[in-house]
Amino acid sequence: MGLDLGTKTIGTATCDAGWRFATNGNVIGRSKWGKDRGKLDALIQERSVKGLILGLPRNMDGTEGPRAQASRAFACNLDEAFGLPLLLWDERWSTQEAEAAMIGQDMSRAKRAKAIDAHAAAIILQGAIDRMAGGIL
């Protein structure tokens, strides 16, 4: 399952059993960790998730700022809570790519705002799938 962690939401995405195609999923409204964990646990159980890909928001020069630190802390919580394989994935262009794709589909600004994090999660997950399929990881 791919995750795009925001300050207010968590975008989710899943892939097929053959690890070929990522599909955007739900957008979860963020709350306290206990509530977030419960919502994620329900999705993990429902989709039989075997691993997690969490977007790591790096600066354009590759350095990490406060948002990356928050994602790393969230990754520690995920690891403790679920014990699933976890990969942090550079997400520098995921939101821009998701927005461009939705604009290309002539999606309204209001609909884009509601779905952007799930689309970004699918882009994060697809990037990791493509890299693994190429045997680079």
State pLDDT tens for residues 93-127.
777 888 888 788 888 988 888 888 898 999 999 99
| Overall pTM surpassing 0.85 (yes/no) | yes
**Predicted pLDDT at 38:** 97
Distance CA 18, CA 129 (A): 10
Higher pLDDT among residues 133 and 136, named by residue: 133
What average pLDDT does range 11-27 have in this prediction?
A: 92
Distance CA 1, CA 11 (A): 10
**Which residues contact residue 76 at a Cβ distance below 8 angstroms, ignoring those fewer than 6 apart?**
none
CB 77 within 8 A of CB 38: no
What average pLDDT does range 59-85 have in this prediction?
A: 94
47 band by pLDDT with thresholds 50, 70 and 90: very high
Angle formed by the axes of helices 94-104 and 109-133, nearest 10°: 120
Domains of the chain and CATH, by start? 2-133 (3.30.420.140)
**Predicted pLDDT at 48:** 94
pLDDT at 135 over 90: no
